[in-house]
Structure 1
Amino acid sequence: MQHLDNIKGKEIVPGYFGRFVHGEKITLSIVDIKKGSPLPEHRHPHEQVTFILEGELEMIIGGEKMVLTAGTTHVIPGNTPHSAIALTDCRVLDAFSPVREDYRID
């Protein structure tokens, strides 16, 4: 058992600070995002499920622009280009499968 406050985190890109829990086949990511912070377009082989805990996050997923608000979720298939910008301070829960090895912290 772990408490979020005790999980070591890292800045993913400027304005995006994540804490990560890794299972055998999945990574759970809790990300705090500062208002106005952009996440450049990228893609990865992992399937991603994004759930907005707090705030408003504008995303472009596979060319479709949408605003995700607290309580909304979206599935992003692997290798789908996506980007984001925080319209407010946000807290986001992301699940990735398979495990995001690049998010491991020693």
Structure 2
Amino acid sequence: MKYSTGSLIKSSEQEWEEVAPAIRRKITGYNDDLMMVLVSFEAGGVGEPHSHIHSQSTYVESGAFEVTIDGKTELLQQGDCFFVHPNIIHGVVCKSAGVLVDVFSPIREDFLR
């Protein structure tokens, strides 16, 4: 849902999309410059290593995740964050069920298809 002016968004009115085994996402809002996405993982869910042209900032809302960025891996838990520069390989493995809050700039147009 693209917003041209300020908007109030209720999570209960947004739908989850299954994107991989044990992983689903919900786009909460975006414009041409910025996108926020909730990504829910079951324990064992894997966000495969990948890269993209977008800057990404991620907040660990809940759970525990083994996060790998450019070959370095650390365990992050609720309240932790990570940042990924464009074109850097990164991925996650969910160790304890939880939710990541991803913010992208520019928007992930591939998520809208």
Q: In structure 2, what residue type is equivalent to 1:77?
A: H
Q: In structure 1, what residue type is equivalent to 2:88?
A: T
Structure 1 range deviating more: 13-22 or 49-58: 13-22
- Aligned sequence identity (%): 23
TM-score (normalizing by structure 2)? 0.87
Query: Secondary structure at the residue paired with 1:74?
Result: strand
Task: Tell me the CA shift for residue 12 of structure 1.
Answer: 2.3
Aligned residues: 105
CA–CA separation in structure 2 for the residues paired with 1:12 and 1:49: 20
For residue 64 of structure 2, what is the aligned residue in structure 1? 56
For residue 15 of structure 1, what is the aligned residue in structure 2? 22
Q: In structure 1, what residue type is equivalent to 2:111?
A: Y
* Structure possessing the higher radius of gyration over alpha carbons: 2
| 1:40 and 2:48 aligned | yes
Higher RCO (C-alpha 8 Å, min separation 6):
1
Task: Tell me the CA shift for residue 40 of structure 1.
Answer: 1.2
TM-score (normalizing by structure 1)? 0.93
Q: In structure 2, what residue type is equivalent to 1:7?
A: Q
Runs (5+) with no aligned partner, structure 2: 1-7
